[in-house]
Amino acid sequence: MKIRYFNDQDIETIYIIEQKAFDVGAYSRLEINSMIHSKNSFTMVIEENNSLIGYATSAAIDSSSMDIESIAIIPEFQGKGYGSLLMNSIENEMVKRNYKISILEVREKNRTAYNFYIEHGYKFLQFLIDYYSLPYKESRNAYRMIKKLV
């Protein structure tokens, strides 16, 4: 297992991971490319046996806060601790870059992801009505969650 910064050769695989990990609302190739190349953002990937199995992207909100734009693990590798390793790595990188707060949004009906974030110290911050353009389990709502990193 290896966690590293993404490189441009990873973009197609990141797109495939995104498509496999999200039933609804997966980012397009264009959206992924824009997200991972945006100013003040960074992307990390996780490999198992030299194959990418997950990625996470974070982007600056302001001088002290970053937003986790996406974190995804291929379904057959979920529940095995890879997501936790990736989450810890991206949060550690935020701290190295002097960010103090991590923020993310999660679909209201995605209890698995919500519970994952709770287990990693995130707390409910705000309920967002119709945040997502596509519904998931008949809801477009989201929870905004926050974690103080230091």
Average pLDDT over residues 7-13: 95
Find the mean pLDDT for residues 16-39: 94
What is the structure's pLDDT at 36? 94
Per residue in 84-126, pLDDT (tens digit) is: 999 999 999 999 999 999 999 999 999 999 999 999 999 999 9
Give φ, ψ of 80 to 5 degrees: -115, 10
- The mean per-residue pLDDT over the stretch 70-78 comes to 96
pLDDT, residue 73, reads 97
Give the mean model confidence (pLDDT) for residues 16-37.
Answer: 94
Q: How confident is the model at residue 23 (pLDDT cuts 50, 70, 90)?
A: confident
Q: Which domain holds residue 143?
A: 2-148
What tens digit of pLDDT does each residue of 49-69 get? Answer: 999 999 999 999 999 999 999
The whole-model pTM stands at: 0.94
How many domains in the chain?
Answer: 1
| CATH at residue 110 | 3.40.630.30
Cα of 6 vs its chain's centroid, Å:
14
Alpha helices in 41-81 (DSSP H): none
